[in-house]
A and B are shown apart, each in its own frame.
Chain A
């Protein structure tokens, strides 16, 4: 149309540099998501220009490849263990400098940026690959792609291709940054059977923030959400001597729960934090089911409980509890140990004084914003006390509010007690964050979920016992299968549900597996194995935190070896890109930023790298791989 012609006439180059293409390709195979982001930038100017490749990736992802191609030369990332990488750049590391490309950014994302000087009249192509296992939350999987090209792009494309052997039950895609009408026009989504597809390919004129603007309206999150059919209770995949078992049965009855909230009311909670905590608690109490039992424990310098034992979530009790929440005031110090032990005692009393509640799912939720300063303050003693008091009977969830918490300590404590820790960010939406966390554990469906596999068939298994299973979530177990055991592989699941025992056996349907392999081929094989590797590395890294030095070294070495074998940039590995350097001669490196890495504004400016004139000789993750000559004589398939 005339108007689009007009729009197309807008100059997409900024300072002589234009983005010829920016493509995000995401392939999901059974929850394993493999992303490749490719961007081609052209410098049409008669002098060298600095260009940036800038994108955000989920914190849960591992980068597995990065390459830059310029003037026919390819510059490829080399993965090494972090210690070796550090030694190589010791000089820079000692002086506190680094040429890192990845920085923590916001709550859930990491920012990857590289600035390069590009020769006049030449082009450069960036390609970043990262992978993650999608986690089911609130009845869906979510793929988040942060979109923020700094200028208009000639060929912009997000292509999400999903393959789920159980079949896809729903699929949606949203781009919050697009007006509704334009979103409907440009986002194409479809799903049928096992396959789902989302394509977003806006033209240049559709990217413009106004008909005459050279600015882009592409700035925000592009989200794809989907879920899989659960008509069949078993979802057991076996390929290439690895298996992945997804467990999320539907149509189970919610279990009643015994829940105790242990809340930090130390002085540091004053102001917005206590206000938001109270708001969240009031809402959470309002959502309690009549069959649930609960109590509240507050800890400051002293420890006080609302009732001192569990009471039913009757209307009158909930009303009284809400009054208590509205009325409590802050105390001085932080007796975290005392607060937790009181909460645990209340839940433990069920066995003796309230046996009729012993079939409920018990949950302990603790919220704190700081370090223990009253009572027992030695962290290892607190861990021991909590461990000995809970004795594996119920999960402990720790919520760390704000930046002053020792999140690592909370994580270890939760992990030791079958739960997990979550950060609550000090922000205007902290109330929603607290509620959001609670909603994930509000509906327990099963307790003591045990997923068993034939012992002689399994070589390496991820966590296969889960204290509780909640509505809308999913338990994933993966492992390696011994040679020749693939065909006889099976899974037994046992758990306790509301008023009944839960027990199923899942067998591998060989015909179905063959069919799946025909449909997805190598990608399925590869992804089941990488899914296993991803989960195993995550677990090894987590386990490392709660063991002593010797055991930690052992777990680190296992996690490192797997990170190298599968080419993942994890907290134990680094990827450096040879053939380019900044003005100080530092090579760019890709590291996984740690949970407590400083905020972006505290870090120095980004370095700009210059590509060497020659392509570096290829190296591989394995030091044993030899460089092959250019021309060889050989014999191969026809």
Chain B
């Protein structure tokens, strides 16, 4: 999956990929003050093409707010409220608004769902559907943070660590191996990285077509940009 990090102070965007095996669960958001967390499990394509790098996607997301005993499991097939307690199961064909102790989940039929947490953030899960007959691809999910300003300063995770200002400088923009994508030197967290200007797609508004976002791409699983190594964000469970 590709991560898109918008940095409002710089009016610019950073991107990186995390390449891991299907089945791995990654911590996306973790607020130790409230216990709020979002974890995502990777899936791959149905069939692997020999010799090709296989894409991975999010196939399952777990959103938990322990302060209110709220858990939501989202897959491309179902949306389950409090799965540990046999809660109701919704389909992506439903149009629904669910409210539970300060958390509002809005399911917008076959399109997306929005989770709003009082004194927390607002998050969007986008459903991507591939054509049913595909023997290679399968449906997957996207995850977007719409509002995070009420999350605590200690929030971490592959996305959560960027909820608070991050400084970087880009210099020495020069032609890269692909003439359409210049390389540059980025100084971030006191490290000097070679980054590449490219385009990624943001599907938060239009789940079908997406919108192109120009960003500085950080190579090697975000090495140097993210706190620690990407493997530090692998967690054992979805909640």
A residues sitting closer than 8 Å to B (CB atoms) are 239-241, 483, 513-518, 521-522, 525, 565, 620, 622, 624-626, 628-629, 631-638
Which residues of the other chain, B, contact A622 by a CB distance below 8 angstroms? Answer: 95, 108-109
Other A-B pairs beyond A516-B133, A625-B108, 5, CB < 8 Å:
A514-B133, A525-B131, A624-B108, A635-B1, A636-B144
B19 CB to nearest chain A CB (Å): 9
Given contacts A522-B131, A636-B142, A638-B17, contact A628 B2 (CB under 8 A): no
Which residues of the other chain, A, contact B106 by a CB distance below 8 angstroms? Answer: 624-626
Which residues of the other chain, A, contact B163 by a CB distance below 8 angstroms? Answer: 633
Given contacts A239-B132, A525-B131, contact A635 B3 (CB under 8 A): yes
| CA gap between A80 and B129 in the complex, in Å | 27
Query: Is B219 on the interface with A (CB-CB < 8 A)?
Result: no
Which residues of the other chain, A, contact B55 by a CB distance below 8 angstroms? Answer: 637-638
A635 near B132 with CB under 8 A, answer no
Given contacts A624-B108, A636-B126, contact A518 B131 (CB under 8 A): yes
Output the nearest chain B residue to A510 by Cβ-Cβ distance.
B133
| CA gap between A633 and B108 in the complex, in Å | 20
**Interface residue from B6, B108, B158 paired with A631 (Cβ < 8 Å):** B6
Can you list 7 contacts pairing A with B, beta carbon distance less than 8 Å?
Answer: A517-B133, A628-B144, A628-B205, A634-B202, A635-B2, A635-B58, A636-B126
Query: Is B79 on the interface with A (CB-CB < 8 A)?
Result: no
Output the nearest chain B residue to A240 by Cβ-Cβ distance.
B132
Which residues of the other chain, B, contact A620 by a CB distance below 8 angstroms? Answer: 108
A632 near B204 with CB under 8 A, answer yes
B56 CB to nearest chain A CB (Å): 8
Which residues of the other chain, B, contact A565 by a CB distance below 8 angstroms? Answer: 95, 109
A127 CB to nearest chain B CB (Å): 15
| CA gap between A516 and B134 in the complex, in Å | 11
A632 near B145 with CB under 8 A, answer yes
B132 near A633 with CB under 8 A, answer no
**Interface residue from A624, A625, A631, A635 paired with B143 (Cβ < 8 Å):** A635
| CA gap between A634 and B162 in the complex, in Å | 10
A632 near B142 with CB under 8 A, answer no
Which residues of the other chain, A, contact B25 by a CB distance below 8 angstroms? Answer: none
Which residues of the other chain, A, contact B159 by a CB distance below 8 angstroms? Answer: 633-635
B132 near A632 with CB under 8 A, answer no
What is the number of residues of chain B that contact chain A, defined by CB distance less than 8 Å? 52
**Interface residue from A633, A637, A638 paired with B144 (Cβ < 8 Å):** A633
| CA gap between A621 and B82 in the complex, in Å | 29
Query: Is B28 on the interface with A (CB-CB < 8 A)?
Result: yes
B4 near A633 with CB under 8 A, answer yes
Query: Is B63 on the interface with A (CB-CB < 8 A)?
Result: no
A513 near B133 with CB under 8 A, answer yes
Interface centre among B1, B55, B145, B204 (most CB of A within 10 A): B204
7 tightest Cβ-Cβ pairs between the two chains A and B: A634-B144, A517-B133, A636-B142, A514-B133, A631-B6, A521-B131, A624-B106
Which residues of the other chain, A, contact B1 by a CB distance below 8 angstroms? Answer: 635-638
**Interface residue from A516, A518, A624, A636 paired with B202 (Cβ < 8 Å):** A636
B58 near A517 with CB under 8 A, answer no
B131 near A633 with CB under 8 A, answer no
Which residues of the other chain, B, contact A632 by a CB distance below 8 angstroms? Answer: 4, 6, 124, 144-146, 202, 204
* Chain B 25-50 near chain A by CB (<8 Å), digits 1 or 0: 00010000000000010000000000
Query: Is B201 on the interface with A (CB-CB < 8 A)?
Result: yes
B52 CB to nearest chain A CB (Å): 13
Query: Is B153 on the interface with A (CB-CB < 8 A)?
Result: no
A631 near B205 with CB under 8 A, answer no
B142 near A635 with CB under 8 A, answer yes
